[in-house]
């Protein structure tokens, strides 16, 4: 039943995209997601001493944000997040800290942190925390909940946890073409760390080239992309 519901949602999403954007958009998106893509990725950082973000909404009783206490809690990763469960289980065994968002006791998003080195297979990039006061984060939100305040609530929970432990910086990555996400990160106090990844993906093959820089690029890139 869960597989059938997931397939039905995916088919409905494709029908909506086809109706709203047309055939060429759907084809280009499929090629980008599954065949070939070239992207740039910013590595950003945030001072954990900054005020935590305010979340101006009436909390629904069905939503719960909390730290995962152990592998025994992974039963919540069903049905929407079942594919993510093995990866989160490996991270917990490796000592990662994970924040989970639950709706009706079912996981819909998770945020993970590591204070060690992390290899991102999607980007073919290994990030190593450069100082003892730094923590690296990554996030996944199910497509049905993207654009909701859930991400901010997970940030608040995870950042407060590490701030209380004495950490000073959180570091993450954002794809340059995702200007909505970049603007959110800027509003939350993220700044450029001076590292950009140039990634190429061809079918199952991926490669990244690391570029280090000293100037500020984010505003200039955004103005160029919007034609300002």
Are both 177 and 192 inside the same structural domain? yes
Are both 156 and 46 inside the same structural domain? yes
Burial state string for 65-98 with b = 16 or more CB within 10 A and e = fewer than 16: beebeeeebbebbeebbeebbeebeebbeeebbb
Spatial separation of the C-alpha atoms in residues 176 and 197, rounded to whole Å? 10
Of all helices (H) and strands (E), which one includes residue 34? helix 23-34
Spatial separation of the C-alpha atoms in residues 137 and 172, rounded to whole Å? 5
- 71 inside domain: no
- 146 inside domain: yes
Spatial separation of the C-alpha atoms in residues 101 and 149, rounded to whole Å? 11
- pLDDT on residue 228: 39
Are both 55 and 156 inside the same structural domain? yes
Are both 173 and 139 inside the same structural domain? yes
- 150 inside domain: yes
The total number of structural domains in the chain stands at 2
Question: What's the domain range around 7?
Answer: 1-34
Are both 46 and 153 inside the same structural domain? yes
Spatial contact of 39 and 176, defined as CB atoms under 8 Å apart: yes
Residue-level pLDDT, tens digit, the chain, 228 residues: 444 555 566 666 667 766 766 777 666 666 656 667 788 999 999 999 998 777 665 555 578 999 998 887 888 888 878 888 998 999 999 999 999 999 888 899 999 999 988 888 878 888 988 889 999 999 999 888 887 888 899 999 999 999 999 999 999 999 888 888 888 899 899 999 999 999 887 877 778 899 999 988 876 655 444 443
- pLDDT on residue 61: 55
């Amino acid at each position: 039943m869960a597989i059938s519901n997931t397939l039905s949602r995916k088919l409905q999403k494709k029908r909506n995209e086809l109706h709203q954007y047309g055939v060429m958009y759907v084809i280009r998106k499929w090629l980008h997601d599954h065949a070939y893509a070239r992207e740039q990725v910013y590595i950003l950082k945030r001072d954990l001493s900054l005020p935590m973000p305010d979340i101006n909404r009436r909390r629904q009783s069905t939503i719960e944000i909390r730290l995962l206490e152990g592998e025994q809690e992974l039963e919540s990763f069903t049905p929407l997040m079942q594919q993510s469960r093995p990866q989160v289980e490996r991270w917990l065994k490796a000592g990662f800290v994970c924040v989970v968002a639950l709706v009706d006791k079912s996981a819909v998003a998770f945020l993970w942190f590591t204070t060690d080195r992390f290899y991102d297979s999607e980007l073919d990039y290994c990030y190593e925390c450069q100082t003892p006061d730094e923590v690296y984060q990554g996030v996944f939100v199910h497509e049905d909940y993207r654009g909701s305040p859930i991400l901010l609530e997970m940030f608040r929970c995870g950042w407060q946890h590490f701030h209380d432990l004495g950490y000073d910086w959180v570091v993450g990555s954002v794809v340059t073409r995702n200007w909505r996400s970049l603007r959110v990160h800027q509003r939350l106090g993220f700044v450029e760390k001076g590292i950009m990844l140039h990634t190429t993906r061809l079918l199952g093959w991926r490669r990244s080239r690391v570029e280090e820089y000293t100037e500020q690029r984010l505003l200039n890139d955004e103005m160029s992309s919007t034609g300002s």
